[in-house]
């Protein structure tokens, strides 16, 4: 699996539609300070479902939309799509090529797509679990992040190792199963409460029914 292309339109400094094409190998992006190199990495992080705006160096999610310059009007939406070669089927989906896209409008309305079909953020997260590619993955290491990893808390570093070891999806499934179990336990407590209330009423009702039978 490898990244084939990134398409951006209206995302941060990229007002126009731009297609970055990559080939199997190493690609370097060079340019002067402030020309938008980190914005390319932000675009990938964003399309993979990043919700923490600080990770994208903004104040609100709408800040990812091209805000205009002296000579250009702001854009109404931001769109990013990444296409991955999946001929080795590392992603558990029946396609040799997978395109994941995200769009956000100024109104705040947003959508995610996998190969052109609308999907939930959850579907994107699940697609990339344990591949190292997700927004929590180790495939996007931003400026200063190596330092953060080395000097970070052991629990934070543990997350990276879990992802590399391929056990994140099992941990998530365990957490979901535990939550369901907890909800069911609560339901059982409620059912038992109702049952004991009803049991209290059985005696008086039986007596009442006997009295009514006698008087009839
Ligand atoms: P450096 O080499 O200094 O790290 P860089 O090439 O990585 O720089 P970025 O940080 O990717 O540059 O890009 C910063 C530029 O993106 C700034 O000029 C900023 O004005 C522009 N920019 C960020 N968000 C938006 C936006 N929403 N609309 C327009 N331009 C934006």
- The CA distance from 48 to 59, in Å, is 19
| Global model pTM greater than 0.85 | no
**Cβ(160)–Cβ(149) under 8 Å?**
yes
Whether residue 66 has its Cβ less than 6 Å from ligand 1? yes
Residue 142 has pLDDT above 80, yes or no: no
Question: Cβ atoms within 10 A of the Cβ of 145, count?
Answer: 13
Span from the CA of 195 to the centroid of ligand 1 (angstroms): 63
Give, using CA atoms, the residue closest to atom 13 of ligand 1.
36
pLDDT in tens, 21-74: 998 788 899 999 999 999 999 999 999 998 888 888 888 889 999 999 999 999
pLDDT band at 194, cuts 50/70/90? very high
Nearest residue (by CA) to ligand 1, atom 9, is 36
Give the pLDDT of residue 136: 65
Q: What is the pLDDT of residues 129-138, one digit of tens each?
A: 878 787 666 7
Neighbour order of strands in the sheet with 117-119: 18-21, 2-9, 77-85, 97-105, 110-114, 117-119
Among protein residues, the one with the nearest Cα to ligand 1's atom 18 is 34
Atom of ligand 1 nearest to the CA of 69: 29
State the residue for tokens 């180790």: 138
Q: Band of the pLDDT at 113, cuts 50, 70, 90? A: very high
């Amino acid at each position: 699996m490898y990244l084939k292309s990134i398409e951006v339109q209206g995302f941060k400094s990229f007002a126009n539609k731009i297609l970055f094409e990559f080939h199997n190998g190493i690609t370097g992006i060079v340019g002067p300070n402030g020309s938008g190199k980190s914005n390319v990495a932000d675009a990938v992080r964003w399309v993979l479902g990043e919700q923490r705006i600080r990770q994208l160096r903004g104040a609100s999610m709408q800040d990812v939309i091209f805000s205009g310059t002296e000579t250009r009007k702001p854009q109404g939406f931001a769109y990013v799509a990444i296409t991955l070669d999946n001929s080795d089927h590392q992603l558990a989906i029946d396609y040799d090529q997978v395109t994941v896209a995200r769009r956000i409008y100024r109104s705040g309305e947003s959508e995610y797509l996998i190969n052109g079909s609308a999907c939930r953020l959850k579907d994107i997260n699940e697609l990339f679990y344990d591949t190292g590619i997700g927004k929590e993955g180790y495939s996007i290491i931003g400026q200063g992040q190596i330092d953060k990893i080395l000097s970070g808390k052991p629990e934070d570093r543990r997350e990276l190792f879990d992802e590399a070891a391929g056990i994140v999806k099992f941990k998530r499934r365990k957490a979901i199963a535990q939550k369901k179990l907890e909800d069911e336990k609560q339901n059982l407590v409620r059912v038992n409460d109702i049952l004991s209330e009803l049991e209290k009423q059985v005696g008086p009702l039986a007596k009442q029914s006997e009295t009514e039978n006698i008087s009839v």
